A = this chain, B = another copy of it.
Amino acid sequence: MRFTKKRSKKAGLPPGTLVHIGDKESGDARITIIDYDEAHFEEKIVNTIEECMVFRDKPTVTWIDVDRIGRVEIVERLGECYGLHPLVLEDILSTDQRPKMEDYGDYTYIVSKMLYYNDKNHQIEVEQISLILGRNFVISFQEGKEGDVFDVIRERLRKAKGRIRRMGADFLNYALLDAIVDHYFIILERLGERVEALEEDLVKHPTAKTLHEIHNLKREMIFLRKAVWPLREVIGGLQRGESPLIQETTRVYLRDVYDHIIQVMDTIETLRDMVSGMLDIYLSSVSNRLNAVMKVLTIIATVFMPLTFIAGIYGMNFKYMPELEWSWGYPVILIGMGFIAVSMLLYFKKRRWL
């Protein structure tokens, strides 16, 4: 289930016990190290944590990206090497964390959520991204889902685009968060398109399928909101300088990310309001159509029931029914029936049922 992960297997274990909670991932972790300053750039893919050690005490900025965190040992070794608190390691491995920021003095631990739009089942998929920001390093942990929004950052570092190579680790940290938040807009556009398509459907020919699409959209919105809302506080905290590792110059940029988050929340709320409104409209349309159906039934019944009754009267077998003997009886009755039918229809016309 997307809303409650299997946390139960951890219940009762002592704090700091490292257990991976999340979808099973095959394959090993992929560790990429990028080390840079304004003049110098080095990138390599390593197999063992020991290779990271050499960068630890260099003055250059080091970015260690761990993709696929399924194997507990790697996280454990990195933790030992960089002196991370056991609770941090535990949280990195528990992929059902809420976005949050925790300041541990020497380093700041940030949990955020990368979101992908799955085109097959039209559901939003989530990947937990943990960031450790130190004085001269950033360690990022990904769950290892397909696609990687950090590629653009790597490219920018390689080509020294923008100011990123001239700035410190806190700017790299900002750039990673910015890449994550920027990606949310893509999700919003997809949802926006679905809302628009749905609105057209609703006006033209609402069906039971429309109803389920409304329901699904609502659920995706709940899901999206749950991932984005707490990130607002996280980035707000970073921007207000709750972490001593963020420099003044970077805060302006974080304010920009904060604005984006607010904009994302705003749009989610707007879409939610619209989808809620659609449900009301759908329900009203269903009632309206029921009304239309009932009117047809009532008109038919009201016109034909009296007529059938009259025909029934003259179908009776009484011996003495004078009308039956008249030579004009039949046409007179037919005309009388026509008159009844027409006046009924006029009555309905007057009541605006036709």
Residues of A within 8 A of B (CB): 1, 3-4, 6-8, 10-17, 85, 87, 90-91, 96-98, 100, 102, 149, 152, 156, 161-164, 175, 178-179, 182-183, 185-186, 188-189, 191-193, 195-196, 203, 205, 208, 211-212, 215, 218-219, 222-223, 226, 252-253, 255-256, 259, 262-263, 266-267, 270-271, 273-274, 277, 279-291, 293-298, 300-302, 304-309, 311-321, 323-327, 329-330, 333-334, 352-353
Contacts of A300 in B (CB 8 A): 298, 301-302, 305-306
Closest B residue, CB atoms, query A257 = B15
How far apart are the CA atoms of A195 and B4 in the complex, in Å? 11
Query: Contacts A192-B4, A274-B222, A280-B279: A253 and B293 contacting too (C-beta < 8 A)?
Result: no
How far apart are the CA atoms of A106 and B182 in the complex, in Å? 29
Contacting pair B14 A164 (CB below 8 A): yes
How far apart are the CA atoms of A277 and B214 in the complex, in Å? 10
Contacts of A291 in B (CB 8 A): 286, 289-290, 293
Contacting pair B256 A6 (CB below 8 A): no
Number of this chain's copies in the assembly equals 5
How far apart are the CA atoms of A325 and B318 in the complex, in Å? 7
Which of B4, B212, B305, B352 is A267 in contact with, Cβ under 8 Å? B4
Contacting pair B284 A211 (CB below 8 A): yes
CB proximity of A270 to chain B, nearest CB, Å = 5
How far apart are the CA atoms of A284 and B212 in the complex, in Å? 10
Query: Contacts A12-B179, A16-B162, A85-B252: A3 and B271 contacting too (C-beta < 8 A)?
Result: yes
Contacts of A219 in B (CB 8 A): 274, 277
CB proximity of A161 to chain B, nearest CB, Å = 6
Contacting pair A288 B193 (CB below 8 A): no
5 contacting pairs across A/B (C-beta < 8 A): A1-B196, A14-B164, A15-B178, A226-B270, A287-B287
Contacts of A353 in B (CB 8 A): 293
How far apart are the CA atoms of A289 and B90 in the complex, in Å? 50
Contacts of A191 in B (CB 8 A): 4
Query: Contacts A8-B189, A164-B14, A284-B283: A330 and B301 contacting too (C-beta < 8 A)?
Result: no
Contacting pair B281 A284 (CB below 8 A): no
CB proximity of A90 to chain B, nearest CB, Å = 8
CB proximity of A221 to chain B, nearest CB, Å = 9
